A and B are shown apart, each in its own frame.
Chain A
Amino acid sequence: MRNIKPAVLTGEHFMNGDYACAEGALACGCRFFAGYPITPATEISEKMSRRMPEVGGIFIQMEDEMASMNAILGASWAGVKSMTATSGPGFSLMMENFGLGIMMEVPCVLVNIQRGGPSTGLPTLVGQQDMMQARWGSHGDYEVIALTPSSPQEMFDFTIKAFNLSEKYRLPVLLMSDEIVGHMTEKIVIPKEKDIKIVNRKKPEKYTDKYLMYKADKDLVPPMANAGEGYKVITTGLTHDEKGYPAMNAEAQEKLIKRLCDKILKNKADIIETQERETEDAEIIVVAYGSPARSALSAVKLARKEGIKAGLLRLITVWPFPDEKILEVANKAKTIIVPEINRGQIVREVERCSHDKCHVISLPKLGDIHTPYEILKVIKEVNK
């Protein structure tokens, strides 16, 4: 008989980022994947199609990305952790029901292996052009959680982190990766199953006819009843009250949307993660995320060798944005440099949060990653 692989492939592997993402999902209990083929995220679907039957899960290739997003919302409501993966054009199509996931408060994970856009753009080349779409792509006001991995190991680790945050705060969480990280092959280490931290959604108490679908606890997150458990789930994309009933008035809108935003904003300290290298005494700080963070780290090391006081602030959570951390480094540094594979998206947030305490420089690049020397060159110019 064929040796069927377990869900958690404990050990060392040489694996690309897309595969590592799929393994991370399986390792933390994802048992439903719906996707539509798209470069450069297809390898996630391919891996899932092979692995899901091995672990007793469902892989389904949907007719489009709108369907993929809806299918994972439905699966999550049935109590099964679910995920989809796509790239720019598919991400646009998913935005419709990403909003439904926000409104119905559905835990699940949406992976975007970013390529160049707009439109069909550069299917096989890297981009970070969907960072603002991640924040504002669906209509209406809401808060999101978006993580930006920089390596295959982080594709594994952050996929698990994304699931945990989605279950804890009841929303679709975005893994905003990019083509370089998705297609890069590196060593990854998968821990023992018992060492993987897993968070599961809060469950409501036993059903009574007084049960309220959307009554939040102190953390502003309502416990979640799954379909088929006898709770008479009622949920809608319409603005609703605590019962889950449609409520077409300004008061209900104010109350619901404020809570949906506050459950993220008031828990920023728990959600946001950043990494700092050599920022202690740095006069020039590079703020980067995703694949350019790797070039940025090399550039900072090269600058230090030349005696320049440079440092790196790497954003692991881009949304919610680490306003306070940016202000903290802006107060210390003379200059912040923001390399991004777009025309300058997150740099606007950095400018907003640094309150003119230091000089902020955008370092845009399109279709390719910055080399360390391109970033080093700017660091040296600033240092003159």
Chain B
Amino acid sequence: MSMNEIHPMDKLIRADRMPHIWCSGCGLGTNFTCYLTAMEKSGLDLDKCVIVSGIGCTGRIPGYTNIDSFHTTHGRAIPFALGLKLANPELTVTVFSGDGDLFAIGGNHFIHAARRNVDINIICVNNFNYGMTGGQFGPTTPLDAITTTSPYGNYEHPFNLVDLAAASGAVYVARWTSIHVRRLTKSIQEALLKKGFTFIEIISPCPTNYGRRNKLGDGLDEMKYYREHSIIKHGINPKEADLSFNGEIVVGKFVDIDKPTFLDNQPDMSQMSVNNKK
């Protein structure tokens, strides 16, 4: 390979920031590529695409993306993204962050942004633990899983994220794993073009922390597990898509509906008459 040869993704990434910080076997590289491919295929004006994250391994994605990118504080990506979108509705705003960031410290922001149907896209990489801080349990860690802060096995019930998203009001809800490259890419593309609050969960390997302590093998072994244990069930009630420790992984598109967004519902001042004013 000649030194001048460039990767097809080079214009979409900040190549001068490579190498990235992610461990070998991590799913983030694949997930990131799916997002970049989806954005390119979507036909959106890249100057109007914005990416926002909180803190964590996934939170580093914006810093590698060659569009307007915002790496905010832990848990706060969603309200930051909401501010960007409402202040300039021309922007296509995507939050790309991890399960701990979005659903523990940021959980309240998630449910309220979904409730308001703010037109932003949330992509959540769920690796079942806090990877960057060395592998602690989080709001998605399955019961009985071993982490550095659940050494006897996790005794907290996890969230079913797709059910939470649907119940909170998201208009588009899907779940894939890092091995579903084609389907995940298509789903992200749909979400980018969908009006309203969209949510995509990506089940993704963390061999260094979660996988190692739970004897799941290396990254490739986890990908093989996804291939063998994922089952596509489009359109099912997300309540039935619960995840368990080393159980079946239900994937698919569960919700795709239309309803007015926060901006659609803004008061139409041109329709205000003097009589309305008490």
> What CA separation (Å) do A2 and B274 show in the bound complex?
4
Q: Establish whether residues A71 and B83, one from each chain, have CB atoms under 8 Å apart when the complex forms.
A: yes
Question: Cα distance A116–B110 when bound, in Å?
Answer: 32
A54 interfacial by beta-carbon distance below 8 Å: yes
Tell me the interface secondary structure of chain A in the complex: mixed
CB of A32 closer than 8 Å to a CB of B:
yes
Q: How large is the interface on A (under 10, 10 to 19, 20 to 34, 35 or more residues)?
A: 35 or more
Number of CB contacts from chain A to chain B under 8 A: 145
B76 to chain A, nearest CB (A): 4
If A1-B272, A4-B269, A74-B80 touch, does A80 touch B88 (CB 8 Å cutoff)?
yes
A77 an interface residue at 8 Å Cβ cutoff? yes
Q: Are A80 and B87 in contact (CB under 8 A)?
A: yes
Contact between A82 and B87, CB atoms less than 8 A apart: yes
Provided the pairs A70-B80, A233-B68 are in contact, do residues A96 and B88 lie with their beta carbons within 8 angstroms? no
Determine if B48 is an interface residue (Cβ-Cβ < 8 Å). yes
In angstroms, Cα B68 to Cα A266, docked, is 31
A245 touches B76 (CB 8 A): no
For residue B195, CB closer than 8 A to chain A, the reply is no
B2 at the interface (CB under 8 A from A): no
- How many Å lie between the Cα of A97 and that of B70 in the bound state? 13
Answer whether residue A118 sits at the interface, using C-beta atoms and an 8 A cutoff. no
Tell yes or no: B72 within 8 A of A by CB.
yes
Counting contact residues on chain B (CB < 8 A from A), the size range is 35 or more
Q: A71-B79, A246-B63 are in contact. Are A58 and B73 (CB under 8 A)?
A: no
Chain B residues near A78 (CB-CB < 8 A): 83-85, 87-88, 91
Q: List 23 A-B contacts (CB under 8 A).
A: A32-B87, A34-B79, A58-B86, A58-B87, A60-B86, A60-B262, A63-B109, A66-B79, A70-B80, A71-B79, A71-B86, A75-B84, A76-B83, A78-B84, A78-B88, A97-B73, A226-B88, A236-B63, A236-B70, A237-B72, A238-B71, A245-B17, A245-B63
A71-B83, A74-B85 known; 15 other A-B pairs, CB under 8 Å?
A: A74-B79, A74-B80, A74-B84, A74-B87, A77-B83, A78-B84, A97-B73, A100-B72, A100-B76, A226-B88, A227-B91, A233-B70, A234-B63, A236-B63, A237-B73
